Structure 1
Amino acid sequence: MTATQTEPSTGIATHQVALSFEDGVTRFITVREDQTVADASYRQRINIPLDCRDGACGTCKALCESGEYDGGTYIEDALSEAEAAEGYALPCSMKPRSDLALQIATTSEVAKTGAASYTGTVVGLDRLSPTTVELAIDIPNRGELAFLPGQYVNIAVPGTEVTRSYSFANAPHEERLVFLVKLTPGGAMSTWLTERAAVGDEVTFTGPNGSFFLREARRPVLMLAGGTGLAPVLSMLRQLDVDGCDRGGRLVYGVSTDDDLVKLDEVEELVSRLPGFTWDHCVSDPASTAANKGYVMSLIGDEDLHDGDVAIYLCGPPPMVEAVRTHVAGAGIEPTGFYYEKFALAVPAAEASAPSAEASPASAEAS
């Protein structure tokens, strides 16, 4: 999201508000500090469910996941004191004091909106390793695409009828869009990238999507990336760097084989600019030449969990996600924030079904 700006005609500060819907679609609106989120949303043709406009019914109740706001005036029946303390607010009453990220309790279809569509040009095809390709895309209307670090888009595979989901590896402020693709034999995207793709090709995608994104907070972070699950974590690290983050934290990056290791120098450079941040990587293949052989759990120390005062961001295949959840629970820790996203390997014969390891997200949850 962008920094606070001022509307030239009024001199009033404006903020970007991300509206994340239950079906994974995220839409961004611009809201003045003297406007309620609901009013701004309706002016921009996004219909947040309302039965009133003055904090009387609670129909529009939303969870604010990051940012600061004036909650406005409302009655206890619409929003209890306990709910407000948990971060819930009423868009019909709330006015932003910074950029916000809100969970809206309905689908984008009900709100009469949808994921935006973009068309871009391939400007980079970099074979990072035998198993991984970096795909770079430029779009002419880059200023219209806002996203939160960690989110993804659905890319239409040229020459096919299927789409694949990929997380941004670049930060929201960067012009070039970058994605990491795990090459899967027989996969639709993998086949295109290795056999037909060329710089200059046209690509279309929709988004942004996903509830796996970096939250604004002061607590330390623990980031765990498996394979190309490194992409959204890179986006988050870049954003922390831009924000001048000094909250500290740790990244653990794990892969299956040495061929899957990518971006080590880039990770090292990013982490070196974040005070109090450390990182390490591991490879599960016993034949690996890596210093750490095994799984990411072996590199999580008690000090990384901060007795629960930590936000955990986890992206990887389902077995990794479940193993980490079990490990943290076994340590008797209930983290303040636990955000994770799973991706699964696609079977070529069922390519039109769920997202794949060629891609990124299959699901995302928080606890």
Structure 2
Amino acid sequence: MSYTIALNFEDGVSRFITCKAEETVLDAAYRQKINLPMDCSDGVCGTCKGHCEQGAFDMGDDYLEEALSEEEEAEGKVLTCQMVPSSDCVIQVPVASTLCKTQVGEITGQMACVESLSEDSIELMIDMDEDAELAFLPGQYINIQVPGSEETRSYSFSSCPGDKRVSFLIRNVPDGLMSGYLTRTAQSGDPLTLTGPLGSFYLRDVKRPVLMLAGGTGLAPLLSMLKVLEEKGCDQPVHMIYGVSRDDHLVKLDELDAYVQQLPHFSYTTVVADEASEHPHKGYVTHHMDAEILHDGNVDVYLCGPPPMVDAVLKHFREQDIMPASFYYEKFTPNQTSEEAA
């Protein structure tokens, strides 16, 4: 028996390790050449303290109150030198990855296919090499090196963790470096180098209703989350509002319709900003955030979209005097992805 432990460092780097039965996280990390912070390794100093966001574990009672107080333990804080997982876990490590003598992982794959979904969106699929070990949390992103250049671009996975063929929704940017490669010169079998995974925008344990807000290709990480929710099951209501600029920019609706059938409590609304559109829901996502999907603030919100959309949603919450139980968001621009989570 072994468990997968996601170590999320404060610089946005994620590394995944395998923890054997009855093995502490600290020992497992050192065995896999990741030097987590530690001084004593005996539950005395508190140097190895982190925060467990997901998963089950045993902390035993061989540590001092000075190293981990009851209040900290109630908040999910852990000592990795004492923590013995009994399931897969996600742990926040409050230092940079470089200080733990590790760095962002590099993996390779080959171009599988490129499909134009709309004038605005491209779907990229990559087959990972047989020996490539790619793990990520649903919602995270990865950097892809543009063939023929030293430049990289950041894209969120739309596929499910564990898939050997990974997929991405990419905005078709006129004269964009990656867009130009994908639309003009990309060939099946082209070698690709990816570095990651990265980011603090990922699906947490679902304990209350969920509201997903997607802007354009910001739909990608939410699709990854929905795939995981379908696999694991979800007994909480999940609603998505998916906004685009024009009618023909709406993509993956067949996939969303399938989730309506497969995920019992899932529903979604599409919104088009174009005033000339005859779409039944026009405007912006904030125009369609009705009270029933906000559950008086007892809701986890996941938002991925361009900066103006993120700012508009934050402003809407302030004006409506609503504070969601948790609010995770990711801003992106055409050339890069940046993380901000709260």
Distance, in Å, in 2 between the alignment partners of 1:262 and 1:217 is: 26
User: Within 5 Å, which residues of 2 pair with 1:4-19?
Assistant: 6=1, 14-19=2-7
Aligned partner of 1:203 in structure 2 is 192
Q: Deviation per CA, 1:45-70, whole angstroms, max 9, x where unpaired?
A: 00111112122111121111111211
Out of 20, 24, 29, the position equivalent to 2:8 is 20
* One-letter identity of the residue aligned with 1:166: Y
Aligned partner of 1:303 in structure 2 is 292
Q: 1:241 to 1:190 in 2, by over 3 A?
A: same
* 2:101 is aligned with 1:112: yes
* 2:20 is aligned with 1:44: no
Tell whether the 8 Å contact from 2:108 to 2:132 is kept in structure 1 after alignment. no
User: Within 5 Å, which residues of 2 pair with 1:1-367?
Assistant: 6=1, 14-73=2-61, 74-141=63-130, 144-346=133-335, 355=336, 361-366=337-342
Q: Deviation per CA, 1:247-306, whole angstroms, max 9, x where unpaired?
A: 222111111222321111111112321122211110111122322111111221212122
* One-letter identity of the residue aligned with 1:59: T
User: Under a length normalisation based on structure 1, what TM-score does the superposition of the two structures give?
Assistant: 0.90
Quote the offset at 1:154 in angstroms: 0.2
Which structure 2 segments of 5+ residues have no match?
A: none
Which structure 1 segments of 5+ residues have no match?
A: 1-5, 7-13, 347-354, 356-360
Q: 1:228 to 1:80 in 2, by over 3 A?
A: same
Distance, in Å, in 1 between the alignment partners of 2:112 and 2:278 is: 33
* One-letter identity of the residue aligned with 1:22: E
Distance, in Å, in 2 between the alignment partners of 1:312 and 1:78 is: 33
SS for the counterpart of 1:270 is helix
Distance, in Å, in 2 between the alignment partners of 1:140 and 1:161 is: 21
Aligned length: 341
* One-letter identity of the residue aligned with 1:151: Q
Distance, in Å, in 1 between the alignment partners of 2:130 and 2:154 is: 21
* One-letter identity of the residue aligned with 2:299: V
Percentage identity across paired residues of the two chains: 52
Q: Deviation per CA, 1:334-361, whole angstroms, max 9, x where unpaired?
A: 2222111100234xxxxxxxx1xxxxx2
* One-letter identity of the residue aligned with 2:214: A
Distance, in Å, in 2 between the alignment partners of 1:308 and 1:90 is: 32
Say what the alpha-carbon RMSD is for the aligned residues.
Answer: 1.4
Distance, in Å, in 1 between the alignment partners of 2:18 and 2:110 is: 27
Distance, in Å, in 2 between the alignment partners of 1:75 and 1:333 is: 40
User: Under a length normalisation based on structure 2, what TM-score does the superposition of the two structures give?
Assistant: 0.96
Distance, in Å, in 1 between the alignment partners of 2:133 and 2:147 is: 23
Distance, in Å, in 2 between the alignment partners of 1:260 and 1:250 is: 20
Distance, in Å, in 1 between the alignment partners of 2:26 and 2:324 is: 32
Quote the offset at 1:209 in angstroms: 0.7
* One-letter identity of the residue aligned with 2:202: F
Tell whether the 8 Å contact from 1:248 to 1:274 is kept in structure 2 after alignment. no
Distance, in Å, in 2 between the alignment partners of 1:308 and 1:52 is: 42
Q: 1:317 to 1:37 in 2, by over 3 A?
A: same
Tell whether the 8 Å contact from 2:219 to 2:242 is kept in structure 1 after alignment. yes
Quote the offset at 1:181 in angstroms: 0.7
Tell whether the 8 Å contact from 2:134 to 2:162 is kept in structure 1 after alignment. no
Tell whether the 8 Å contact from 2:50 to 2:91 is kept in structure 1 after alignment. yes
Quote the offset at 1:143 in angstroms: 6.2
Greater CA drift, 26-35 or 147-156 = 26-35
Distance, in Å, in 2 between the alignment partners of 1:245 and 1:219 is: 10
Aligned partner of 1:349 in structure 2 is none
SS for the counterpart of 1:332 is coil
